[in-house]
Amino acid sequence: MNSTLPITPETITRVTLANGLTILVKDNPNNASVTLRGRMRAGGLFDAPPVNGLAHFATAALQRGTRKRTFQKLNEELDRFGMSFGIGAGTETIGFSGKALVEDFDRLLNLAADVVMHPIFPRSETEKLRAEILANLKQADDDTQHVAYREFRKLCYPASHPYHRLSDGTATTVKRLTLNQLREFHARYFRPDVTTLVIVGDLRADHAIEKIERAFGKWRARGTPEPHAIPVASPLKQIARRVFPLDGKTQADLVLGYPGLRRTDPDYYALSIGDLIFGRLGLYGRLGENVRERQGLAYYVFSSIEAGIGAGPWSVRAGVNPKNLDRALEGILAEIARLRSAQVTQDELSEARDFITGSLALRLETNDGVAATLSDIELFDLGLDYLQRYPQIVRAISAEQILAAAQKYAQIENYALAIAGPVDRRQ
C-alpha cells in the first residue's frame, strides 16, 4: 500500500479566487463521500463585553432562513439527501462543515453558499433560536464541568481580554441582542478574503474548484478585513481560586491552569510535548499515573493546551469526590512542581516523540481527519510541507527546552482554580 502522506505540496491543490476565498482540495477516491470544511478568521473575539454572544448567535441564525430557503426547507433538503451541515462561531474562528455523497456534492455546496452569503434573519425563527440559546445557557449553568471551565476562564484572563468570556454569551447579553446587530455582524465579518474552504473526497480538484467558484465566486466584501488578533495575556500574579456550589451533584469538577501560548509561539512544540508527558500520554500521562492509577482519586484527570491565534489556556481538568478534593489538588500541584523542577527523562521524551510521529497516520485516516489537519495548516500558515517537516521538528525538541517552557508557563505560587459541585464555598 502507498504509505506516502496524504498532505504534501504535490497532493494538495490550493488556489485563491479573485474575491480572496482560499480553497484547498484533496482528492480521495477511497470513499464515495465528500467532506467540506470552512473556516473564517472571525468570531467572538470581535464581541465587546456588552454584546458577548453576538458572533455565536448571529452565526447560528444563518441556518434559520436564507434568500432561497426557509429553515424548514433547508432541514428537509439536508435530510432528504442524507447530508449534514452545521455552522458555528468560537472565540477565534467561525467554522462550518458538511458531508454528502459525491453525487450530492453540488447540492451541499449550493446550500452552504446560500447559508454563508444570503441569510435573512427571519424574526420568528431567530427568536426561537434565541430561546434555544437561553435554554442551553440555563442547562450549562447546572453542568459542573462547564461551570468550572467558564469560571476558570474568568479567573485566568482579565475582564478586558476576549478569553475572559466564553463565546456563547450570558443570559443577560443574549436577551439584549437585536436582529439588527445580528445582521450587522454578518455583513461586517463574513467575507471571502478571511475564509478558507477545504474539500476532501472523491472528486477531481479542478472540478471541485470550478464548482466552488460557481457557488461562491460572486461573494464580495468591501474594504479590508478587521485585524484578526488576540491581545497578549499577562501571567497570573497570585492564586485566584473560586468555588461554585451546585445542588444535587455527587462529584466536584475542577479546572486549574494558566494563560498558555499561541500556536505560532516558538515555545509551542516544547510546551506541547511537555504537556503530553505531563497529562495526556496513554491514560493521562504523569497526572493519570499519580492521581488515577496510584491514588485512585479520579476517573478523569488530564491536561490540555489550547494554543490558538492567541495564548489560550494551559489547564488541568479533573472530577473528584468532594472528600478527595484536597488530595487530588495536592497530587496535581506536585506533578506541576515536578515538571518545573527536573527535566523529563529521556525515556519519557522518546516515548512522546515516537507517539506523536507514529500516530500521524491515524489522524489522517479519514476524510474528516485530513480536512481538519488541512484547515489548521492554513489557519496557522504552517505550509503544505508541514507534515513532511513535522517529525524533524518534534525530534529536535530537547528535555532542556521542555523544562524551560514548563518553568515559563506553569507556576506553583500563581494559578487560576475553579471548582464546581457539591462543595462549600469555604472549601
Partner 1 sequence: MSEIREAHLDNGLTVLLKPVRTAPVATFWVWYRVGSRNEVPGITGISHWVEHMMFKGTPTLSKGEIMHLINRNGGVDNAFTSSDYTAYFELLPSDRIDLALRIESDRMVNALFEPEEVASERTVIISEREGAENEPRFWLGEEVLAAAFKVHPYHHDTIGWKIDLETMTRDDLYSHYKTYYAPNNAVIVAAGDFDADEMLAKIQKAFGALPRGKDIPPVKSVEPPQEGERRVVLRRPGPTSYFHAAYHAPKASAPDYFPVFVLVGVLTGVGGMSFSGHGSPGRSSRLYRALVETGLAVDVDCSFRATIDPGTLDVTATARPGVAIEKVERAIFAELEKIATKRITENEFAKVLKQARSQFVYAADGVMNVGGWLGQLEVVASYKMYETFLDNLNKVTRADVLRVAQKYLGETNRTVGWFVPSNDGARKGRR
User: Which residues from 100-139 bind partner 1, rule CB under 8 A?
Assistant: 100-101, 128, 131-132, 135-136, 138-139
What CA dihedral angle connects 43, 48, 53 and 58, to 10 degrees?
-60
Q: Which 39-98 residues touch partner 1, going by CB under 8 A?
A: 72, 75-76, 78-83
Residues between 249 and 288 with contacts to partner 1, criterion CB under 8 A: 249-251, 253, 281-283
Task: State in angstroms the smallest separation of the CB of 146 from partner 1.
Answer: 11
C-beta closer to partner 1: residue 22 or 357: 357
Can you tell me which of 45, 87, 212, 298 binds partner 1, judged by CB under 8 A? 298
Provide the minimum distance between the beta carbon of 386 and partner 1 in the complex, in angstroms, as a whole number.
Answer: 18
C-alpha cell at 189: 465579518
What residues between 366 and 385 interact with partner 1 by CB under 8 A?
A: 366-369
Stretch that binds partner 1, among 10-18, 108-116, 248-256, 303-311 (CB under 8 A): 248-256
**Nearest-approach distance from CB 100 to partner 1, in angstroms:** 7
Looking at residue 243, what DSSP letter applies? E
Distance CA 166, CA 118 (A): 27
Coil, strand or helix: which one is 381? Answer: coil
Give me 315's grid cell. 489547564
- Minimum distance of partner 1 from residue 3's CB (angstroms): 4
- Distance of alpha carbon 338 from the chain centroid: 29
- Near partner 1 by CB under 8 A, which window of 47-55, 331-339, 347-355, 375-383? 347-355
Beta bridge partners of 298: 320
* Ramachandran category for residue 379: left, alpha or beta (phi over 0 → left; psi -120 to 50 → alpha): alpha
Q: What angle in degrees, to the nearest 10, is found between the helix axes of 205-216 and 105-117?
A: 30
- The answer to the question of residue 234 lying near partner 1 (CB under 8 A) is no
Q: How far apart are CA 314 and CA 217, in angstroms?
A: 40
Using CB under 8 A as the binding rule, whether residue 248 contacts partner 1 is answered as yes
Which residue lies nearer to partner 1 by CB, 33 or 315? 33
Residue from the set 49, 187, 266, 299 that interacts with partner 1 by CB under 8 A: 299
Give how far Cα 401 sits from Cα of 274, 339, 345, Å: 9, 12, 13
Q: How far is the CB of 246 from partner 1 (least distance, A)?
A: 8
Specify the residue for cell string 484536597.
326
